[in-house]
Amino acid sequence: MDVTVCDVGPRDGLQNEPGALPAETRAELVNRLAAARLPRIEAASFVRPDAVPQMADAEVVVEAIERRDATEYSGLALNLKGYERLVAAGLDRVNFTLAATDSFSRRNANQSLAEARATAAEIIRRSELPVTVTISVAFGCPFEGKVDPGVVAELAAELAGAEVVLADTIGVAMPGQVRALLERTRAPGVHLHNTRNTGYANALAALGAGATLFDASCGGLGGCPFAPRATGNIATEDLIYLLEGEGVATGIDLDAVIAVAAWLEDVLGRRLEGQVYRAGAWAG
């Protein structure tokens, strides 16, 4: 396997859906993705259910997962309480998310950036599980506009004990920026949204800059049809199609992921953002 693809659909995808799916259905999505040989799946989010009702009952989701050895199951935490719940639930990896700007940190995690940095350091120091830290709005912020790459580089350096992922949370990055920031920070991972149709170009730019970890969501889940600005992740199956076509091994069963996207389309009752699940893979 040349790169690791992490499917964040059960978390980043479903948390942006207008309605909450039952925990059993969310666990079924995780199980189907693992059966398709996804090496990593972000299975749940340990946030307050009143803040994000779509992610309620994270413990029930984790309980209903049929563990497979080849898959690493991660979860999202935004504070120490979430981290403690995640560890107690028995997941394999912690994904702590920290914003590159103070405004986004206050809106998304209800804490200042300084507090979030202290929490990240504490989790890295304390955790027996491997830790990923995702720097959200690393390229652009809905409240503060363009983000200074120097600020992101400083944050990434501070997080040296963790696996760092740079996130284009609102889908505004350009390939040149992605390449430059990855080269500057040496971060191994990217989390890309296809909001303005630059997501796959950005993925290729990241690959060229040495990225080895790519977040994506099955079907491109996360693009909410009822929201004025759809913000879907790049689609897992579209990314696999592109990577494998470029000679990069993912170890994932593309046809099986396509089948999961088709299943999701039925579950959600609408067409998803991804294109490869509709067009089909082409063996050429």
Interface positions with Zn ion (CB under 5 A): 12
Please report how close the Cβ of residue 192 comes to Zn ion at its closest, in angstroms.
8
In terms of CB distance, is 31 or 97 closer to Zn ion?
A: 97
In the complex, the smallest distance separating the C-beta of residue 282 from Zn ion, rounded to whole angstroms, is 28
Of 12 and 163, CB closest to Zn ion: 12
HEC profile of the chain: CCCEEEECHHHHHHHHCCCCCCHHHHHHHHHHHHHCCCCEEEEEECCCCCCCHHHCCHHHHHHCCCCCCCCEEEEEECCHHHHHHHHHHCCCEEEEEEECCHHHHHHHHCCCHHHHHHHHHHHHHHCCCCEEEEEECCCEECCCEECCHHHHHHHHHHCCCCEEEEEECCCCCCHHHHHHHHHHHCCCEEEEECCCCCHHHHHHHHHHCCCCEEEEEHHHCCCCCCCCCCCCECEHHHHHHHHHHCCCCCCCCHHHHHHHHHHHHHHHCCCCCCCHHHHCCCCC
Q: How far is the CB of 138 from Zn ion (least distance, A)?
A: 11
Using the minimum distance from each CB to Zn ion, give the nearer residue, 188 or 222. 222
To Zn ion, the closest distance from the beta carbon of 142 in angstroms equals: 13
Q: Which is closer to Zn ion, CB of 12 or CB of 72?
A: 12
- Name the residue whose CB lies closest to Zn ion: 12
Active site includes 218? no
Q: Which residues are catalytic?
A: 224
